[in-house]
Amino acid sequence: MKPLLFLLFLLSNQSFAQENKWRHLFTNADTLNKKRLKTVSIAQSGIWVSSLVGLNQAWYANYPRSAFHLFNDAGEWQQIDKIGHAFSANWGANLSSGLFRWSGLKRNKAALLGTGMGIAYVSVIEILDGYSTGWGFSMADMAANLSGSLLFLSQELAWQEQRIQFKFSSHLVDYKQPELIKKADDLYGHSLAERILKDYNGQTYWLSLNIWSFAKDRFRPKWLNIALGYGGSGMLGGYSNQWMDKQGIYHNRSDVPRVTQFYLAPDIDLSKIEIRGRKLKLLKLLNGLRLKFPLPALEWNTYGDVKFHALYF
């Protein structure tokens, strides 16, 4: 947790650091600091290598191996997992670029290097999948990785800021029926953390656009965003709601509709709120996590329904 908070601190607004006696440690270097650059480069390379080795030993070593091969999973999970790949790559690029800027690299160069590291971070799984008999290298996943990283890079090069932020929200799903609860437990885990990170039925991914960045005037709040969201529900399998359990019993729950959902909602960019006080300024660190702010939302889904949510996350 401490390393994560440190990394987020480096990415956050530097105003807190100006009031802190350790501000020289948290402020971006004005010129290239070779010691910082070496530290950042070694740390990020170490994370990549340790992720590759760790995942291989903890997960993939328990499954049959094969020669490197491709695998087409473009139609799974109503593409929620693909958008998750794009989000992760975008977040990784933003994080890595922030660290390179901390070392004193110019913004464009830091963005280019950060984008490369963002792709590398999330591609570890694709590489290992490519050598696993039960999976394979997914071109769709790789395309999603590239799109998320390039969304970050294109904005850095064009605007020198992230006017459109990739954000994430998640809620717990009540599956109600014992059969569905057991299936959800098998697919998405039991704990709160597992459900938030793995349950596609509760996840929503957002593109949050800062209005003021595109039309700067004193009448528009700097912190106000408009967000477009994408989510889904009713997924009890990658492609369908039919499965065979471990006891060999066949389940057909095609009566549970698989729905794709689109959202329109306001959002808040915490980094653009002018606030005072050290504790309040720590709120800006949350912007580095890229979590969608819980607010009212309008939903349209593939069943043609239009719904209003008084509070959605």
Tens-digit pLDDT profile for residues 201-215 = 999 999 999 999 998
Last-in-domain residue among 161, 196, 222: 161
- Average pLDDT, stretch 234-242? 96
Q: Are residues 173 and 193 in the same domain?
A: yes
In the prediction, which pLDDT does 9 show? 45
Domain boundary among 140, 161, 182: 161
Pick the range with the lowest mean pLDDT from 50-59, 99-108, 260-269. 50-59
Regarding whether 157 and 183 lie in a shared domain, the answer is no
pLDDT at 7 over 60: no
Asked whether residue 102 falls in the same domain as residue 173, the answer is no
Do 306 and 209 share a domain, yes or no?
yes
pLDDT exceeds cutoff 90 at 110? yes
Co-location of 153 and 197 in the same domain: no
In this structure, the answer to whether residues 139 and 271 fall within a common structural domain is no
Q: Which domain holds residue 240?
A: 163-313
Say yes or no: 190 and 304 in one domain: yes
Q: State whether 187 and 304 are in the same domain.
A: yes
Number of domains the chain is built from: 2
Question: What's the length of the chain?
Answer: 313
Whether residue 222 sits in one domain with residue 136: no
Do 137 and 240 belong together in one domain? no
Distance CA 311, CA 141 (A): 31
Same domain? 298 vs 223: yes
pLDDT digits (tens, 9 = 90+) for 113-141: 999 998 988 888 888 899 998 889 999 99
What is the model's pLDDT at position 16?
Answer: 42
Q: Are residues 115 and 175 in the same domain?
A: no
pTM for the complete prediction?
A: 0.87
For residue 307, report the phi and psi dihedrals to the nearest 5 degrees: -130, 150
Token output for 259: 């729905």
Structure tokens at 105: 């690299």
What gap in Å lies between CA 10 and CA 26, rounded to an integer?
Answer: 6
Residue that is last in its domain, among 161, 184, 218: 161
Strands (E), the chain: 164-170, 203-210, 224-233, 242-244, 250-252, 259-268, 295-301, 306-312
pLDDT score recorded for residue 24 = 59
Closest CA to 222 of 173, 167, 161, 144: 161
Mean pLDDT of the chain: 87
For 291, other C-beta atoms within 10 Å of its C-beta total: 15
Backbone φ, ψ for residue 164 (5° rounding): -120, 110
Q: How far is CA 286 from CA 189, 193, 269, 282, in A?
A: 26, 18, 10, 8
Please give the DSSP secondary-structure letter assigned to residue 235. -
Residues 105, 115: Cα–Cα separation, whole Å:
14
Interval 224-245 mean pLDDT: 96
In this prediction, residue 1 has a pLDDT band, given cuts at 50, 70 and 90, of very low
Is it the case that residue 12 has pLDDT exceeding 50? no
73-89 pLDDT per residue, tens? 999 999 999 999 999 99
pLDDT band at 252 (very low <50, low <70, confident <90, very high): very high
Instruction: Determine the pLDDT at residue 67.
Output: 92
